[in-house]
Amino acid sequence: MHLLGDQPHRSLAKLAETHGPIMSLKLGQINTLVISSADAAKQVLQKQDLAFSTRHVPDASHAQNHAQFSVVWLRVCTEWRTLRRILNSNIFSNSSLETNQHLRIQKVEELIAYCRKASLSNDYVDIGHVAFRTSLNLLSNTIFSKDLADPYEDSGKEFKEVIGNIMVEAGKPNLVDFFPVLKKVDPQGIRRRMSIHMGKVLEIFDELIEERLQMGTLKHDDVLDVCLKMIQDNPDEITQAHIRSLLLDLFAAGTDTTSSTLEWAMTELLHHPHTMTKAKEELEEVLGKGRRICPGLPLAIRMIPMMLGSLLNNFDWKIDTKIQLDALDMTEKFGITLAKAKPLCVVPIPLN
């Protein structure tokens, strides 16, 4: 275990270079299977997904009893199928995505308007933050019919910080996972900190749910209405605790991964100007699986290229003149997702 360090993904990748794409490691008291190739991952996650679907639940995920109600960690059961049905039918189905296309367009237009405002005052834009805020408001409008952050101001940082903390704590190697006897002790304090971070997000969701219930009628025709009606119709099958955890899963996965992907993409394009030029040329031409597969993939496939394409099609991007392109920071911060260690802050230059 001492070989993992604070960048376990890199440590395991080096081991895989020597021992191959499938490794069995004894981490503490736990036998661990490490998969390091696309072909092997396909076997585990797609062809043998049922055998691996009920896997070990990290101790951090038990904070706030999250694992007990989460679509990510529930075993394949009636509750899990009901939660997946909510996701697949009301958020990520083709019909739902087409119905909400106007929301995606609106949120990207707000993103461009914010960048244009920054360009007028020659201000930097934190790419990861604006991508997070755009994804946050897209999800919150789909689920709650309202923004959770002001799209035209520098808001939403607190929510982003809390979600980022959740992803970092969830990704940390935890002694409790390798030595279950330490569960009651929580020696690194990971579960305690995770409970605090999750509690902040769940408190927001509780307020939004209570606000809707106080209205007395379900007339918004959004995802929250669907969830609350399902609780009313099937109280023995799904509860408000399931919905709270479902919302936490959605906002954690749907905001952090999207913003990190977009930030890395912009960083790579700035690091390789030729690729940036080629991407702009291609844009001008265009514009002139398994049980545990990520249910949000259809939305991400639509949203990330739309945001990235809009940013490239409307602006040139300038980094700090003190920073040379070859010195642009490319280090990552380990967590459930690999976020940039230092934010990408660049100045937008309008193209027209």
10 is a domain residue? no
178 is a domain residue? yes
CA atoms within 13 A on the CB side of 210: 6
136 is a domain residue? yes
pLDDT of 302 reads 79
Whether the Cβ atoms of residue 110 and residue 342 lie closer than 8 Å to each other: no
pTM above the 0.85 mark? Answer: no
Q: What's the number of domains the chain is made of?
A: 1
Q: Which residue has the higher pLDDT, 151 or 6?
A: 151
Identify the domain containing residue 295 by its residue range.
48-350
pLDDT of 288 reads 40
232 is a domain residue? yes
29 is a domain residue? no
Say whether pLDDT at 246 is over 90.
Answer: yes
326 is a domain residue? yes
Task: Give per-residue pLDDT as tens, 102-156.
Answer: 999 999 999 999 999 999 998 999 999 999 999 999 999 999 999 998 887 776 7
pLDDT of 293 reads 56
325 is a domain residue? yes
pLDDT of 287 reads 40
Rg (CA), the chain: 21
**Residue for token digits 């440590």?**
11
24 is a domain residue? no
For residues 173-181, average pLDDT = 92
pLDDT of 77 reads 87
Structure tokens at 1: 């275990």
- Cα dihedral 40, 41, 44, 48 sign: negative
Q: CB under 8 Å to 103, separation ≥6 — which residues?
A: 138, 141, 142
- Cα dihedral 12, 169, 180, 45 sign: negative
Question: How far, in Å, CA of 308 to CA of 254, rounded?
Answer: 16
The CATH number of whichever domain residue 222 belongs to comes to: 1.10.630.10
For residues 44-73, average pLDDT = 86
pLDDT of 324 reads 58
Task: Give per-residue pLDDT as tens, 271-328.
Answer: 887 777 776 665 454 444 455 556 556 676 778 888 988 998 899 998 865 555 556 7
